[in-house]
Amino acid sequence: MSSPLPITLLSFTGSRGKNATNLKWVIESEINFDYFLLEHSGDGYEFETVTKVKGKGNSSSRAEYSYLDLTATNLYYYRLKSVDLDGTTSFSKVIKVDGNGEGYSRLAVIYPNPVSNRKLTLQFFDNDPGAAYLTLT
């Protein structure tokens, strides 16, 4: 029998203000959960930790978290790294927040651009094991 996931993430969004990015995420429940690391990236590949947000540990009620990123420029990619009490980690989908204040999920990235050493990497951020269709031009 498998154990339940430490958190159930309902949403993760970002919106750009005049001088900062407001990030919000909603959790349905937490079981043996420790903390979140909010990470950002200017290119969507190399992420660094912005802040650590302590979780509630064990809670069966919905919780809302938020963080105001004052270091953000016009474009940043964000993700949440969740860490439970035994050190197990998982990542949220990556969201992109641009200068227009739009935050949306990023499904995949292809890198490097331009290709080097005849190698191209396609990375999906969705854990859905279903079929994926790709057209490269």
User: Could you read off the pLDDT tens digit of each residue along the chain, which spans 137 residues?
Assistant: 344 567 888 999 998 877 788 999 999 988 889 999 999 998 888 999 999 999 988 888 899 999 998 877 677 899 999 999 999 999 999 999 876 544 444 456 666 666 778 887 776 655 555 666 667 66
Assign domain 7-106 one CATH number from 2.60.40.10, 2.40.110.20, 3.10.310.10, 3.50.50.60. Answer: 2.60.40.10
Indicate the burial class of 65 (C-beta count within 10 angstroms; 0-12, 13-18, 19 or more). Answer: middle
Please tell me the distance from the alpha carbon of residue 14 to that of residue 8, in angstroms, as a whole number: 18
Alpha-carbon Rg of the chain, whole angstroms?
16
**Beta strand 33-41 with 21-30: parallel, antiparallel or unpaired?**
unpaired
Q: Which residue has the tokens 């990123």?
A: 69
